[in-house]
Chain A
Amino acid sequence: NAGVTQTPKFRVLKTGQSMTLLCAQDMNHEYMYWYRQDPGMGLRLIHYSVGEGTTAKGEVPDGYNVSRLKKQNFLLGLESAAPSQTSVYFCASSRDFIYEQYFGPGTRLTVT
């Protein structure tokens, strides 16, 4: 039981490049989330999903897209990376709203 895993762990992009971050969970959770963490800002919600095939925008969605084609996977895409997207990205999942969220180890992304 691996919990929540994220791929890759580190990535450096040049401005304008694209990439996809993969989040996978093996706990059969319905809810999945993408957050970004910046110094002094805490974690902020980018997008979330309440079930397979559904996605919705969070607090800071601009410049990102997501997909949840399979229940266990939640993909975060950057179509044209910008330096402002340099951050640590965390994925989380939850069985239901009354249960805790489990976090992945994070992906550190640098955009130059």
Chain B
Amino acid sequence: AQSVTQPDIHITVSEGASLELRCNYSYGATPYLFWYVQSPGQGLQLLLKYFSGDTLVQGIKGFEAEFKRSQSSFNLRKPSVHWSDAAEYFCAVQNSNSGYALNFGKGTSLLVTP
């Protein structure tokens, strides 16, 4: 079954620094991959998604992600982090065996320091 792993539970970056959040997937065929963000006490907001085509995907809020089949990865990046980016970030893969529900990673909590 399709699954994703987020190796980092917590990440701390300084405001203005670059950010990379890691996501590794497990699936034989081309996966449909997503990154969601969850601010404290809020629901989930889609940052970006990858279905096919260009492996570098642009999203909202200045985020981008790169699909690398050779590394089974879909890492999220941002060149300069703002304090408002502090949140929980979830990578997810679509599961074709469960009505195309999403299989989520366990999340990475981002802390932004001044």
Contact = CB atoms under 8 A, between A and B. Distances in A.
A42 B100 contact: no
A43 B104 CA distance: 6
Contacts of B102: 33, 43, 45, 92, 101
Interface string A42-55: 11110011100000
A2 interface: no
A107 B43 CA distance: 10
How extensive is the interface on chain A, given as a class? 20 to 34
Contacts of A92: 102
A105 interface: yes
A45 to B, nearest CB: 5
A100 B106 CA distance: 19
Given A42-B90, A56-B98, A100 B46 contact: yes
Contact of A103 (B44, B98, B100): B44
Interface of B: 9, 32, 34, 36, 42-46, 49, 51, 90, 92, 94-96, 98-107
Interface of A: 31, 33, 35, 40-45, 48-50, 56, 58-59, 90, 92, 94, 97-98, 100-101, 103-106
